[in-house]
Amino acid sequence: MNKGTLLFCLFLFSACQKAASPQQQLEVATKGLHSAAISERGDSLAIGSIWHGGSYWRLSDNERLFNWNHKAGESSTFVAIDFSDDGRWVLSAEAHSMVLWDASSGRAERYWTAPAEILDIELNQSANLALLALNDHSAVIFDVRNGGIRRSFNHGNRVRSVDFNQQGNLALSGSEDHGARLWNVQNGELVKHIKHEDQVQLVRLSDDGKLALSVSKYDKALLWSTDNDDYQVELPLKTEHIRRGLHFSAARFNHNNNLLLTGRPDQVVQLWQLEPLMELKRWKLPKRKAWKPTSAAVIDLAFQDEHNFIAAASNGIIYQLNINDPSASLMPNLNAL
């Protein structure tokens, strides 16, 4: 089956598929979220709410454990937040400051002033370095234990999204200059440059760094190999959706690199099989108030296992998703067509 036929079939079956509903939901912010991060295991949550600053939640019993703000007596506006891979540390960012938090005690360990306005952050596995997306046209590796910039990666416009692989030897950055760039962290060299037709607003790396996703708001979403120039696949979105600026606003690979979760600004979460590429299931997250013209952009996702998933939405609600929900069937295997 050629690429054009594959995309046509994906569109056809996506249109016919009934979206499932979440199994459970938890309200964590009454007026919505600026940012959210779900831990790698899907058992903890850190958020930046619109009215009440930051907080840390244990999802096993839906308990809020800590309230986090950068200054005492003030509600911080967290533009970005991220967990270390083991869930022990959380880095929160306002536009011009960062705090490293101990997730077990809730204590603030380090406070730093940012080198420029922060648009996105990614904490490395050992929680000693952070990759910052900045409005000064750069992505930088910042030492969150001792302070200072370790390395800078330059773009031609604001950097909107960044990611590390689990080992921390690769850094991926996406910019308003229409480019997604993969960098060697050790020597600072550019490994790969993926060109889009518009601003790149989301980038993600698989844990092993072999797969990457780059998403442009008015262009395509590309799944590509970091070490094979021949592998580059477009995740399907209808042309009219792309023209309206509909894109993927959140994404996460599973540990085995055979599944990808994506979230969109129109309340849709999709589970993709990667080889061959096909949509396995989709969910539609409900609005907070069905009679009002509001939406719920998906801002983070996590695998709890290959059947259970967590989605955080901008409406301040966290959703539990399950692939075995009978309200929507799995899509057929396109190899059989």
Query: Is residue 300 in some structural domain?
Result: yes
Residue 199 located in a structural domain: no
Q: How many domains does the chain have?
A: 1
Query: Which pLDDT belongs to residue 306?
Result: 83
Each residue of 261-288: pLDDT tens digit? Answer: 999 999 999 999 998 999 999 999 987 7
pLDDT at 296: 85
**Tens of pLDDT, residues 147-200:** 999 999 999 999 999 999 999 999 999 999 999 999 999 999 999 999 999 999
The letter for the amino acid at 85 is D
Query: What is the layout of strands, in order, in the sheet containing 24-27?
Result: 24-27, 317-322, 308-313, 298-303
The structure tokens listed for 32 are 């919505």
Q: Which residues of the chain have pLDDT under 70?
A: 1-17, 239-240, 289-294, 325-337
In a domain, 270, yes or no: yes
Residue 271 within a domain: yes
Domain of residue 16: give its range: 1-28+251-337
Residue 103 and residue 89 in contact, taking contact as beta carbons nearer than 8 Å: yes
Question: What does the alpha-carbon distance between residue 326 and residue 205 come to, in Å, rounded to a whole number?
Answer: 31
Question: Quick one: pLDDT at residue 290?
Answer: 60
pLDDT at residue 182, rounded to an integer: 98
Is there a domain that residue 315 lies in? yes
- Identify whether the C-beta of residue 278 lies closer than 8 Å to the C-beta of residue 335: no
45 close to 57: Cβ distance less than 8 angstroms: yes
Label the pairing between strands 63-68 and 54-58. antiparallel
Determine the 3-state secondary structure of 334 from DSSP: helix
Instruction: Identify whether 282 is part of a domain.
Output: yes
